[in-house]
Structure 1
């Protein structure tokens, strides 16, 4: 069989690898305008911590996405080449001075190996009037490393990489491709005329702080996430429907001020880089199949997989598996 996967961010790469896994003798083309460091995924902090409001079509499917994704990342973490794929285990605290619900996460509490309330002593680890807190152990994926690893693996499996801008799904030939997987993220806004897809702008700062070994979250979208090589991600911002891709100096000042208030030793950390990304948000992540007609009037199977917002790294292995499963259902039913 022959497949096309559109988009080379974490969702597109996850889907392309899953197609190769399920259909090892197939021909798979990964088609995108941007790759690697030009993708939104390159900016992602990559911690497995979905937002409580993250939603698929229903609770059962959403839970399955979470479980399958965590199993994928945790399995990669245990491989000998885990450092090459950019996956590691990480412990984290989340603090709040305003509401106990902020430190709870119903997706994680029954899934991670450890997720518990903080002790009174732990609430004083960081400066601040923290009233509520949780401690948990999860996984973190350095997306810059993982994307390079994933694309190499895809090409080693005889996958074909094509750099091309796609403007219409119907430009694909239904006779040539058994299915087209649409993993275009924010690009689906125009490609599918989907007004439900909107950007949520995020800005982060990467600093060199090898002494920080634990992740911290706090009120006002403040987070500190240690990764590989002593590099720590500081964040963040969450600007709804903002298309601004420029570094905002006021956001930078705010991020540094909030993070240094939480972990004062970060004041001596040197900046490695700053970055902005537009998270492709949709109120309900779209993973569903659609039967279209190509420009010749022939049937064209399309499986959509987009709208993950800021949780593409967290959930993409699960949604990829679900998308490939949906193709199998279409194929068996002869649609």
Structure 2
């Protein structure tokens, strides 16, 4: 069977790994416009899923999140953890809006620790916070995980190709199965008007003393990267596709983060980064369809629209996408 994965970010590469594990005697191509500059490269990589993250049903959503966490947890416990860039991390979420804003039903029963902060802990940071939670979770470094995934794929026979897909139909003559993980690219490839770009902007700084992550009302976050650097964020500009670094937003991010953790005032600037989160109204799309081009046809499984939670949930949606492909392949084989 000839298989194509579209997309070179975390969702695409993780899906390709799942395909290699599920299907035998196949030829696998991973097609992407770029493997080095994707939205995944901008992400901080912490495993924290918003309570509003959604798939087609609540049970499927929870399974995606659970499968994803256990995927990264298995890597974290393996000999490949350092190469893949997966480590454990703990930290705090603070808020003033309401006690509900520091709770997370999708995370609380999944991670090892998720508890209210003590009175002493709420004094650890700057600001007069009313509510807080402490949790232990996982961190995946994109600049390590993505090369690790690419190396595993090519070592097992996959071919990575730089290729710009204009239409899914153009692939029908060359592939039996296509899994579409193009994120915002599906706006044009699938004419999906439910996809909306949400611009993100972060600052990378050198802060080797930081070992704990901090959130303040979610829009302010400080995430150590495990290599002496930290990611400071962030912004969420709805329907904004401009990747230019905004100096005013950069100044606001730095100010909010320094007020939350004052020691960051001495942190050395490394770089500013921007990216476009592929948000999809109605939730992530993981579903099957069949495409035809004349007499040629191929099965397509869509796996896109993860918003800002692509790294968090890629393993779960990838597993689900491959299960859809497997079931469809078995059904066609019986005909």
The answer to whether the aligner puts 1:21 opposite 2:21 as a matched pair is yes
1:247-299 CA distance string (max 9 Å, x none): 100111011000000110101000111100000001210000011212x2322
Which of 188, 191, 203 aligns to 2:189? It is 191
Where does residue 75 of structure 1 map in the other structure?
74
Q: How does 1:133-148 map to 2 (within 5 A)?
A: 133-148=132-147
The answer to whether the aligner puts 1:35 opposite 2:35 as a matched pair is yes
Where does residue 214 of structure 2 map in the other structure?
216
Where does residue 167 of structure 2 map in the other structure?
168
Shift of residue 157 of structure 1? 0.6
| Alpha-carbon distance in 1 for matches of 2:317, 2:170 | 25
The answer to whether the aligner puts 1:96 opposite 2:91 as a matched pair is no
Where does residue 243 of structure 1 map in the other structure?
241
3-state SS of paired residue (2:152): helix
Deviates more, 1:305-314 or 1:95-104: 95-104
| Alpha-carbon distance in 2 for matches of 1:153, 1:333 | 30
Q: 2:208·2:229 contact (CA, 8 Å) conserved in 1?
A: yes
Where does residue 4 of structure 2 map in the other structure?
4
Where does residue 321 of structure 2 map in the other structure?
323
3-state SS of paired residue (2:284): strand
For these two proteins, the number of residue pairs brought into alignment is: 332
Q: 2:224·2:230 contact (CA, 8 Å) conserved in 1?
A: yes
| Alpha-carbon distance in 1 for matches of 2:172, 2:242 | 36
| Alpha-carbon distance in 2 for matches of 1:117, 1:184 | 38
| Alpha-carbon distance in 2 for matches of 1:259, 1:24 | 49
Shift of residue 178 of structure 1? 2.1
1:4-55 CA distance string (max 9 Å, x none): 000000000000000001114321100010112x111100111100111100
| Alpha-carbon distance in 1 for matches of 2:247, 2:196 | 24
Where does residue 123 of structure 2 map in the other structure?
124
| Deviant stretches of 4+, over 4 Å | none
| Alpha-carbon distance in 1 for matches of 2:62, 2:2 | 30
3-state SS of paired residue (2:93): strand
Shift of residue 177 of structure 1? 1.8
| Alpha-carbon distance in 2 for matches of 1:25, 1:113 | 39
TM-score by length of 1: 0.97
Stretches of structure 1 that go unaligned for 5 or more consecutive residues are none
| Alpha-carbon distance in 1 for matches of 2:86, 2:248 | 32
Deviates more, 1:43-52 or 1:297-306: 297-306
